[in-house]
């Protein structure tokens, strides 16, 4: 593979935009087929299969419940109103969907580097392949949430159930677009990918995942200005707090999703020669 560099701005050439659009379309189609193949090979020999998508979250929920019983932490929710297990399950599963989505582009590019030269497909193919997996696991988690609500609490109305699915999809797209934006930098700078993992763990506790939003103090200010808080609260309120639900689309999340996806896809296209050079192709 030969890499050519030019001083001309590629964004001003018609060839770049034609290649950009055709790569995205072909990557979407091939990525779906690649996802099916990878999914079968990955989980065919796993006894628990796709349930590995929820097992880590269940252990974390169990640990948090034990800590709450020991009065070490608090969810800030009356257990008589909503069972602690249900509250934590909704919050943590929703967050896990976002975390999987934001990490997926970088993780799949790092994992697929050795195939860049062997398989002649657009790099975006691997990104879309992982996106389908994230969607599948998110659907599984959401169905489990509804099942838990049915047996341990109560199901929301039809309109709230539909809204919860739409908000969950938006939250995933939100995370995936952010992940796509940082993926080119993360694959070229290893320190950045490690720092991002630690930052995501910190962000977990700055977002009302394990607790209901507080009204005063430093944490209240962080929740108020955290762009993830409103998206997560919308999902949770549509499922277990319908009286507090706000029928308003998260315009900030939609705007950030569209902007970050567009910029991230363009950056990935532009950064291909540098990525190939860094990995020795």
Give residue 230's Cα distance to chain centre: 15
Give the Cα separation of 122 and 100 in Å (integer).
Answer: 22
Give the Cα separation of 53 and 50 in Å (integer).
Answer: 6
| Angle, vertex CA 256, rays to CA 267 and CA 8, nearest 5 | 25
Which backbone phi and psi does 25 adopt, to 5 degrees? -65, -50
Q: From first to last of its 281 residues, what are the pLDDT tens digits of the chain?
A: 444 445 555 655 666 667 777 777 777 777 788 777 777 776 666 656 666 667 777 777 777 777 767 666 666 666 557 888 888 888 888 999 999 999 888 888 877 777 766 667 777 788 888 888 889 889 988 888 898 888 888 888 888 888 889 889 999 998 999 888 888 777 777 777 778 888 888 888 888 888 887 677 788 888 888 888 888 888 888 888 777 666 666 677 788 888 888 888 888 777 777 766 665 55
Give the Cα separation of 162 and 156 in Å (integer).
Answer: 10
The answer to whether residues 186 and 196 touch, using CB atoms and an 8 Å cutoff, is yes
The answer to whether residues 273 and 5 touch, using CB atoms and an 8 Å cutoff, is yes
Give the Cα separation of 216 and 214 in Å (integer).
Answer: 6
Nearest to 239 by CA among 149, 173, 169, 152: 149
pLDDT tens-digit readout, 8-33: 556 556 666 677 777 777 777 777 88
In the chain, DSSP finds a helix count (H) and a strand count (E) of 9, 0
Give the Cα separation of 86 and 130 in Å (integer).
Answer: 28
The total of other beta-carbon atoms located within 10 Å of residue 266's CB is 17
3-state secondary structure labels for all residues of 86-121: HHHHHHHHHHHHHHHHHHHHHHHHHHCHHHCCCCCC
């Amino acid at each position: 593979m030969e890499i050519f560099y030019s001083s001309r701005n590629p964004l001003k050439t018609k060839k770049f935009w034609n290649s950009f659009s055709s790569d995205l379309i072909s990557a979407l189609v091939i990525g779906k087929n690649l996802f099916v193949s990878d999914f079968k090979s990955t989980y065919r020999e796993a006894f628990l299969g796709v349930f590995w998508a929820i097992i880590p979250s269940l252990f974390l929920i169990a640990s948090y419940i034990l800590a709450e019983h020991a009065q070490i932490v608090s969810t800030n929710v009356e257990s008589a109103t909503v069972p602690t297990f249900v509250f934590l399950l909704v919050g943590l599963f929703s967050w896990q969907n976002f975390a999987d989505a934001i990490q997926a582009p970088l993780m799949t590019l790092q994992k697929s580097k050795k195939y860049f030269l062997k398989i002649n497909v657009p790099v975006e193919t691997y990104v879309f392949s992982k996106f389908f997996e994230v969607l599948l696991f998110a659907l599984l988690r959401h169905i489990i949430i509804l099942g838990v609500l049915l047996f341990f609490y109560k199901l929301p109305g039809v309109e709230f159930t539909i809204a919860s699915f739409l908000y969950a999809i938006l939250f995933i797209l939100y995370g995936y677009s952010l992940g796509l934006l940082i993926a080119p930098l993360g694959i070229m700078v290893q320190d950045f990918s490690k720092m991002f993992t630690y930052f995501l763990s910190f962000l977990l506790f700055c977002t009302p995942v394990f607790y209901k939003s507080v009204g005063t103090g430093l944490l209240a200010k962080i929740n108020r200005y955290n762009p993830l808080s409103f998206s997560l609260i919308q999902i949770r309120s549509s499922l277990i707090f319908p009286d507090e639900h706000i029928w308003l689309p998260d315009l900030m999340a939609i705007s950030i999703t569209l902007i970050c996806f567009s910029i991230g896809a363009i950056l990935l296209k532009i950064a291909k020669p540098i990525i190939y050079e860094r990995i020795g192709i």
